Chains A and B, each alone.
Chain A
Amino acid sequence: MGEKFRALWRKTVWAWSPESDRESSEAIVKNFWLHWFPAKVARASMDWNYSFWLGTASAALLLILTVTGVMLMFFYVPSTERAYGSIKDLEYAVSFGRLLRNQHRWAAELMVAVVYIHMARVFFTGAYRGPRAVNWVVGVVLFLSTLFLSFTGYLLPWDQLAFWAITVGTSIAKQAPVVGPTIQFILLGGHEIGQQTLLRFYVLHVFFLPVFVWILFGYHMWRVRKDGGLAAIERLRDTRTMVAKATPKTKSYSLFGITPGTSVQVMSSTGLEESDQVFSSPNMSRRIALVFLVVFNITLIAALMFNAPLEGLANPSVTPNPAKAPWYFVWLQELVASTTIRLSGFAVSGALLGGILLPGILLAVLTLWPWLDRSPRSAEGRWLAPERKRQNATFAVATILIIVLIMVGVYLRGPYWKIYWPSQPRPEMPRLY
Chain B
Amino acid sequence: MDRDRRKILRFIGKGSVLAAFLAQIGAAGRAFFPNVLYEPPSRFKIKRPEDYPDGYTFDPAKRLYVIKQADAFHVISAICTHLGCNVQWKDTEFDCPCHGSRFRPDGTVIGGPAPRALEWFATTVSPDGYLEVDSGTEVARDFRLIVGKGKA
Contacts and interface: CB of A to CB of B under 8 A. Distances in A.
B85 A189 contact: no
Contacts of B95: 416
A354 B116 CA distance: 16
A404 interface: no
Contacts of A340: 82, 112-115
A185 B83 CA distance: 15
Given A167-B84, A317-B61, A194 B99 contact: no
A189 B115 contact: no
A349 B99 contact: no
Contacts of A321: 88, 97
The 9 A-B pairs with the shortest beta carbon distances in the complex, nearest first, are A317-B60, A417-B100, A321-B97, A350-B113, A337-B99, A349-B115, A171-B83, A347-B115, A340-B113
B39 interface: yes
Interface residues of B, number: 27
A177 to B, nearest CB: 14
Given A190-B39, A350-B113, A350-B115, A415 B97 contact: yes
Q: Which of B60, B85, B88, B113 has the most CB of A within 10 A?
A: B113
A192 interface: yes
B113 to A, nearest CB: 4
Interface of B: 32-34, 37-39, 60-61, 63, 82-86, 88, 95-100, 109, 112-116
9 contacts: A168-B84, A190-B34, A317-B86, A319-B85, A320-B97, A336-B82, A348-B115, A350-B113, A417-B112
Nearest to B81: A349
A336 B60 contact: no
Contacts of A164: 85, 98
Contacts of B82: 171, 336, 340, 349-351
Q: Which of A171, A316, A320, A354 has the most CB of B within 10 A?
A: A171
A329 to B, nearest CB: 12
A338 interface: yes
Given A190-B39, A317-B60, A318-B60, 19 more contacts: A164-B85, A168-B83, A168-B98, A171-B82, A171-B84, A189-B32, A190-B34, A194-B38, A318-B86, A320-B97, A321-B88, A336-B99, A337-B99, A337-B113, A347-B116, A349-B113, A416-B95, A417-B98, A417-B112
A192 B97 contact: no
Q: Number of contact residues on A: which range applies?
A: 35 or more
B113 A351 contact: yes
Nearest to B97: A321
B29 to A, nearest CB: 9
B115 A185 contact: no
A323 B116 CA distance: 20
Interface in A362-408: none
Nearest to A184: B84
A354 B113 CA distance: 10
A323 B97 contact: yes
A192 B38 CA distance: 10
Q: Which of A164, A319, A321, A415 has the most CB of B within 10 A?
A: A319
Q: Which of B33, B37, B109, B116 has the most CB of A within 10 A?
A: B37
Contact of B85 (A168, A196, A415): A168
A195 B34 CA distance: 13
A194 B32 CA distance: 15
Interface string A333-350: 100111110000001111
A322 interface: yes
Nearest to B99: A337
A318 B86 CA distance: 7
B98 A338 contact: no
B86 A319 contact: yes
A339 B101 CA distance: 12
Nearest to A417: B100
Q: Which of B61, B88, B109 has the most CB of A within 10 A?
A: B88
A172 interface: yes
A192 B39 CA distance: 8
Given A167-B83, A168-B83, A321-B88, A350 B97 contact: no
A348 B99 CA distance: 15
A70 interface: no
B34 A416 contact: no
Q: Which of B37, B82, B112 has the most CB of A within 10 A?
A: B82
A61 B83 CA distance: 33
A433 to B, nearest CB: 9
Q: Which of A333, A347, A417, A418 has the most CB of B within 10 A?
A: A417
